[in-house]
Chains A and B, each alone.
Chain A
Amino acid sequence: MGESENGKSRTIKIALAGNPNAGKTTIFNNLTGMHQHVGNYPGVTVEKKEGFLHYKGYDFVIVDLPGIYGLSAHSLDEIVARNYIVEEKPDVVIDVLDASNLERNFYLAVQLLELNVPLILALNMADMAKKKGMKINKERLSALTGVPIVLTVATRQVAMNDLLDAAIKLVESKAVPMRSRIHYGREVDRQIEIVMQFIKRAPEIARLYPPRWLAIKLLEQDAVVIQTISEKPQGKLLLEAAGKSSALLKALFKEDPETLIAERRYGFISGACDEAVTLDYERRHDVSDMIDTILLNRLLGLPIFLALIWLVFRFVFWASAPFERGIEYLFILLGRGVGSLFSPESPARSLIVEGVIGGVGSVLVFIPVIYILFFILSFLEDSGYLARSAFLMDKFMHKIGLHGRSFIPMLLGFGCSLPAIMATRSIEDEKDRLATMLAVPFMSCGARLPIYVLFIGAFFPEHQAGNVLFIIYLVGIAVGIAMAWFLRRFLLKGPTAPFVMELPPYRIPTMKAMLIHVWERGYLYLQKAGTVILAGCVIMWFLSHLPWQSPQIENPNWETTRLERSYAGKLGKAIMPVFHPAGLYDWRLGVGFVGGFFAKEIVVSTLGTLYAVGEGGGEKNPSLRSALQNARKADGSPLYAPLSALAAMIFSLLYIPCISTVAIIRRESNSWRWPAFAVVHTIVTAWVVAVIVFQAGRLLGLG
């Protein structure tokens, strides 16, 4: 605790712990408002949220720990939360419990009691508990556990200050709290004592953890604790003793010590609840149960889910489109305004207008879709439906080696890979999450559609257009699924994450929680991904504008010549031989592919520029179509046929969607390794599939 000279402004550091869905984040938001900072715990992708407030002359620093069910070493979230509590030693730990679901929530509380930290229990959703007919005797429960208890209703801001008062009281009272101790039965308690004797003989270890907690963890054979202890002097001796005790208990009870200990904890909990909680209700048919009978219905469940997701999908991209156009328009105006300050021939003008302003524009253009999508996603999550959607889709996703929660991100990929990758955060298991993240880009996003429209329009008869488009989307899905399966099977090998998942009761989300969630996502996107995207845009500008050539305003084909002579143009030409096996010989397409790395929209506009079809050379422009149809090789044969057009579309579909995707994978995987892998593997996959399609088609006599 920091103390300033006048002793007035003191800092109290509070860690908020608790089960997911217990209202921990709502309490955090209530306490800190917008004074939050979102980051990562060092070295891992677990989010760290810190907030600040000033109350009664104290400065509070509040850390919202990840939502957890226990303190074991089986999940990253639990390890992170546990390490924070043990190592950072916050002045107070507030455990937020869902009072209406007290027994299970108490399991974590019991483990925190054992950690012997300054603890306050916040029994949240006290109103829900009351509605359920639970009467909680706060004083009795407090006496049984030996820690202060506050009843709260976070959604209505009830008793938020009481929490802070309790924290101040706890910090100021120097008295050592009387903790009730859980008895694990004679045999287990004896082994705990024995291990504690060994711990006492190793002072360096005893300093690290509370001895009783450490003894219990060692009997449970906790992997992380064992790792830490084994590196200390005398650690080996202690581990040996603990291993013996653990094995003895196992032999005696024919049961893992871990299970034994958990059983006793639940025994203690149910005893405490019997004493302090009275139930007087005839169990009404819960509203949540009623909603479930419809939304999880055998026949209706899936159609409702698919319809709902389709609506969300349509709504998000429909509602964000005008904003996107507005942003684009604003940046064009801004570009013109700023551009007029420079001479039209200066390279600086081009760099600032096309590189920097254009780059900032392409960062901001994603903002509407991210905001709107995450608003709806956080509605789905907070309402309890997101967990249900995983429940509905798990069987299917499990078959391809993923988790039910991977479905929604994959689906969102059809709109835009960026928010889809950000949405993988709801996937708990790190490997599932990475595999999903790397499969998402294969889902054909909106930006790729113009390429298909152009090539299908130019090389396929109208009655086939729909089928071809459908095949392309299917190829994307198939490759995505194959990739996820391949990754989980080989590169991201590991046990399947269990599907032991809470289905929280349906609730109406609070506006505040949703807005804060949206705000965080937007902030993370802008701060972390935005900078990379901007840098990418500037690099692309250099590639497509250097070596510098003075603009020749009078020459109508000047843009074409300039692009052809730029590094990007040269690069496009240089890579083209690689595409010969896919039946592609058009160097202009090569330049388009290079530009498409920046954003897929650029493929079509690059072709427009290089074929010099003038302004408005969009995908539906008849002159660009006929230019492609009439393009000839040196020997006079056509550059494109339907089959090579298909190969071109498949390659465009499968290689990395855009620089922003790379940036967001970098941000979400917290490493450069995975985005680099994504770039390489999507390009290789795209090439392989395009070549296979072309060669197989030729063998079948289609080309």
Chain B
Amino acid sequence: MGGVGHLSSCLEDYLETVLVLKQEKKAARMRDIAKHMGVAMSSAHSAIKRLAEAGLVNHRRYESIELTEKGENLAKKILDRHNLLTQLLRDVIGVHAETAEKDACAIEHHVSQETIRRIMEILPPEKNPAEEKTLKNIEPGKSARVVRVRAQSRIRKRMLDMGISPGVVIRVKRMAPLGDPMQISILGYDLSLRKNEAASIIVEPTD
């Protein structure tokens, strides 16, 4: 069996679930894990116990399950592999996104490292968040294309209403005299927004 570590495919899925739940809900509880995996509480219990024995998670009774450093690294690798496969199936092979998700689940435990490396080479690289530029970094007079909008729901909605959506080109015109709101030009009209709002708009410079 391939895989990242030497866990059974079933345990890999449990580890992945703990990470996903932690990312989504901040805490992974036994009940949620069982629900997410579609198994009985007792099965979840024994699986987590085995992960704990392998030193991948810490679990005390009635508390949420914490990943150890080792466990977290492994879980991230498993999740990355899963996402990579989904991306391959959806974007390159062209199956439905749902099918891609399901099939990636089935395949992921049986793929060799070599295959994974090869897939990474042919897929367009995903951006590293640290290198992302936001509208806030764009100097007056320069333009940039919107990649995505990360603002919280109310503000993002407003931005969408005003035309700030992926693919649109924005030109920064100027900062207000006090240095804060900025004036931008978009879709042929002028808009103002605060710098901290601009910081939630991820862009790629066009010039």
> Are A103 and B159 in contact, CB atoms less than 8 angstroms apart?
no
CB nearest to A101 among chain B residues: B189
Decide yes or no whether B58 CB sits under 8 A from chain A: no
By a CB distance below 8 angstroms, the chain B residues around A74 are 153-154, 157-158
Decide yes or no whether B49 CB sits under 8 A from chain A: no
> Are B96 and A187 in contact, CB atoms less than 8 angstroms apart?
yes
Residue among A251, A258, A263, A501 making CB contact with B166, cutoff 8 Å: A263
> Are A500 and B193 in contact, CB atoms less than 8 angstroms apart?
yes
Q: Give Cα A301–Cα B148 distance, bound, in whole angstroms.
A: 32
User: Provided the pairs A501-B193, A505-B190 are in contact, do residues A395 and B161 lie with their beta carbons within 8 angstroms?
Assistant: no
> Are B193 and A498 in contact, CB atoms less than 8 angstroms apart?
yes
- Please encode chain B, from 12 to 30, with 1 for each CB lying within 8 Å of some chain A CB and 0 for all others: 0000000000000000000
Q: Give Cα A74–Cα B153 distance, bound, in whole angstroms.
A: 9
Decide yes or no whether B168 CB sits under 8 A from chain A: yes
User: Provided the pairs A259-B156, A498-B193, A501-B193 are in contact, do residues A398 and B162 lie with their beta carbons within 8 angstroms?
Assistant: no
- Please encode chain A, from 168 to 190, with 1 for each CB lying within 8 Å of some chain B CB and 0 for all others: 00000000000000000011000
Decide yes or no whether A252 CB sits under 8 A from chain B: yes
Please choose the segment from B1-9, B64-72, B110-118, B171-179 that sits at the chain A interface, where 4 or more of its residues have CB less than 8 A away. Answer: B171-179
Decide yes or no whether A391 CB sits under 8 A from chain B: yes
> Would you list which residues of chain B between 129 and 170 have a CB under 8 Å from chain A?
148-149, 152-168
> Are B154 and A499 in contact, CB atoms less than 8 angstroms apart?
no
Decide yes or no whether B41 CB sits under 8 A from chain A: no
Decide yes or no whether A47 CB sits under 8 A from chain B: no
By a CB distance below 8 angstroms, the chain A residues around B153 are 74, 256, 258
Distance of A389 from chain B, by nearest CB (Å): 11
Residue among A263, A266, A298, A504 making CB contact with B177, cutoff 8 Å: A298
Distance of A510 from chain B, by nearest CB (Å): 21
By a CB distance below 8 angstroms, the chain B residues around A101 are 187-189
> Are A251 and B101 in contact, CB atoms less than 8 angstroms apart?
yes
Decide yes or no whether B108 CB sits under 8 A from chain A: no
- Mostly, the B contact residues are mixed
Residue among B155, B163, B168, B180 making CB contact with A498, cutoff 8 Å: B155
CB nearest to A21 among chain B residues: B189
Decide yes or no whether A275 CB sits under 8 A from chain B: no
> Are A292 and B183 in contact, CB atoms less than 8 angstroms apart?
yes
User: Which of A288, A387, A391, A505 counts the most B-chain CB atoms under 10 A from its CB?
Assistant: A391
Decide yes or no whether A491 CB sits under 8 A from chain B: no
Decide yes or no whether A253 CB sits under 8 A from chain B: yes
Decide yes or no whether A159 CB sits under 8 A from chain B: no
Distance of B123 from chain A, by nearest CB (Å): 15
> Are B191 and A255 in contact, CB atoms less than 8 angstroms apart?
no
Q: Give Cα A227–Cα B154 distance, bound, in whole angstroms.
A: 17
CB nearest to B190 among chain A residues: A503
Task: Give chain A's interface residue range (CB within 8 Å of chain B).
Answer: 35 or more
Residue among B97, B98, B176 making CB contact with A301, cutoff 8 Å: B176
Q: Give Cα A391–Cα B181 distance, bound, in whole angstroms.
A: 6
> Are B156 and A258 in contact, CB atoms less than 8 angstroms apart?
yes
By a CB distance below 8 angstroms, the chain B residues around A498 are 154-155, 158-159, 193-194, 197
> Are B191 and A259 in contact, CB atoms less than 8 angstroms apart?
no
Task: Give chain B's interface residue range (CB within 8 Å of chain A).
Answer: 35 or more
> Are B177 and A502 in contact, CB atoms less than 8 angstroms apart?
no
Q: Give Cα A171–Cα B98 distance, bound, in whole angstroms.
A: 44
Distance of A49 from chain B, by nearest CB (Å): 22
Distance of A96 from chain B, by nearest CB (Å): 16
By a CB distance below 8 angstroms, the chain B residues around A502 are 162, 189-192
Residue among A70, A248, A302, A505 making CB contact with B160, cutoff 8 Å: A70
Residue among B90, B166, B167, B197 making CB contact with A499, cutoff 8 Å: B197
> Are A395 and B190 in contact, CB atoms less than 8 angstroms apart?
no
> Are A392 and B97 in contact, CB atoms less than 8 angstroms apart?
no
15 of the cross-chain contacts (CB-CB < 8 Å) are A72-B157, A74-B154, A187-B97, A248-B98, A255-B148, A258-B156, A259-B148, A289-B173, A296-B176, A302-B178, A404-B181, A495-B152, A495-B154, A499-B193, A499-B194
Q: Give Cα A298–Cα B162 distance, bound, in whole angstroms.
A: 26
CB nearest to A279 among chain B residues: B188
By a CB distance below 8 angstroms, the chain A residues around B177 are 296-299, 301-302, 392
- Please encode chain A, from 529 to 569, with 1 for each CB lying within 8 Å of some chain B CB and 0 for all others: 00000000000000000000000000000000000000000
By a CB distance below 8 angstroms, the chain B residues around A288 are 190
Residue among A107, A256, A296 making CB contact with B183, cutoff 8 Å: A296
Decide yes or no whether A262 CB sits under 8 A from chain B: yes
> Are A103 and B158 in contact, CB atoms less than 8 angstroms apart?
no
Decide yes or no whether A394 CB sits under 8 A from chain B: yes
Decide yes or no whether A318 CB sits under 8 A from chain B: no
